[in-house]
Every structure is written in C-alpha cells, then in structure tokens.
C-alpha cells in the first residue's frame, strides 16, 4: 500500500518517441505522475497529436519502456526494469493492432510437426503419428496412420494430376516412401 502511495505522489520526466511518423508528437519532456496508467498515456499522446496535427480521431497505442511493453503503471514498470527515475524516461509508442484472427486453417487433432506444400497439395505430419493430405483451399483429403511415433518430416517427391509420391520420417526412426493415387484417394 505504501508503494502505491509513493508512486501516486512522485513524478517522472518522460519523452515520447515513435517510429510511426504519422503519429509523431513534439520532442519535449513532460512531467507525469509515476502512477500514470497506459490508458492515461494514451489520452495524453492523442491530445498531443490532436494539437500538433489537427487530428480528429483517437488512436489506441501500446507503450514500450526499456524494450518491454508497459502493462502496469509507468512508475512500477520503470522501477522493475531498473530504469533511473531521475533522468528523462524515453517512452516509445506504437499503434495498437488487434490480435490476428485465423482466416483459413487446417484443423488437426494434435500438433503439426512437419509441413510441405507443392502445387495444389499440402502434406502435414503430426505428433499423433499421422500424415494428412489437404488441398491448398483447406479441404482434407486423407489421413494416413503410418508411423508409431510422431512424424517429424514430410516432403513431396513428385506430383502429377493423377499420382503423387512423398516421403515421411518419424521419431520411430523410420522413413517411408508413399504413393498416392489422387483419383482413388488412396496410398500404397
């Protein structure tokens, strides 16, 4: 509780920097409370952008100090990273982007440990000892339970419109050469 109280009353000198020129602000130090949160840093940067560039819409930013994203109040982050609060603390900011959303994915029952794509086919090897054949559009064609341990490597050898050959290697210390009849969707 005492640490929070001392953070609330102490100040830090900070300078904002960014590599995204469209969001640059004047290079001047600012005095802020050590207890400032990232949401308040966000408001401050957006106000500075609005003043210097006449921008209307607010942008969400992430902040980096000492090479790490700030996820706590600034004073705590600075203290935990060993940054001296006596000098001007450089606070880098960058536009916060949403987490990536998977668009097309090939669903497997276990981890994929090997993958090779060629022409219009994808070959995967998994930790559940199986091989899978897919179209590049993501349609599952065939599951091959050919090994007794995780498949660690796969590679296409030859692919034609009617016949394809590929090799698989496993943690069971075997390598197998396969021939796949595309029309019959069967392997030998």
End-to-end CA distance of the chain: 70
Q: Which CATH number fits domain 112-187: 2.40.10, 3.30.310, 3.30.420, 2.60.40?
A: 2.40.10
Residue 4: pLDDT over 90: no
pLDDT tens digits, residue range 32-64?
999 999 999 999 999 999 988 877 788 999 999
Give CATH 3.10.20.90 domain extents, the chain: 10-95
- C-beta atoms surrounding 106 within 10 Å: 14
Return residue ranges of the chain for CATH 2.40.10: 112-187
Mean pLDDT calculated for residue range 157-176:
96
Question: At residue 99, does pLDDT exceed 90?
Answer: no
Query: Using an 8 Å Cβ cutoff, are 134 and 140 in contact?
Result: yes
pLDDT of residue 8: 55
Q: Among the CATH numbers 3.10.20.90, 1.10.238.10, 3.20.20.70, 3.30.750.24, which is that of 10-95? A: 3.10.20.90
How many percent of the chain have pLDDT more than 90?
80
- Is the pLDDT confidence value at 6 over 80? no
Residues 6+ apart with CB under 8 A from 19: 92, 94
- 116: three-class secondary structure by DSSP: strand
């Amino acid at each position: 509780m005492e640490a929070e109280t001392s953070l609330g009353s102490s100040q830090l000198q900070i300078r904002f920097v960014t590599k995204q020129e469209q969001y640059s602000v004047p290079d001047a130090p600012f005095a802020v409370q050590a207890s400032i949160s990232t949401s308040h840093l966000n408001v401050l940067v957006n106000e500075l952008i609005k003043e210097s560039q006449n921008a209307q819409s607010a942008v969400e930013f992430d902040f980096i100090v000492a090479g790490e994203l700030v996820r706590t109040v600034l004073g705590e982050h600075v203290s935990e990273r060993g940054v001296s609060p006596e000098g001007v603390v450089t606070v880098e900011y960058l536009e916060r982007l949403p987490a990536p959303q998977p668009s097309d994915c090939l669903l497997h029952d276990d981890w994929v440990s090997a993958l090779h794509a060629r022409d219009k086919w994808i070959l995967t090897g998994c930790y559940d000892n199986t091989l899978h054949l897919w179209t590049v559009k993501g349609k599952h064609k065939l599951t091959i339970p050919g090994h007794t341990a995780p498949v660690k490597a796969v590679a296409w050898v030859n692919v034609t419109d009617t016949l394809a050959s590929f090799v698989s290697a496993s943690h069971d210390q075997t390598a197998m050469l396969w021939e796949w009849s595309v029309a019959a969707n069967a392997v030998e």
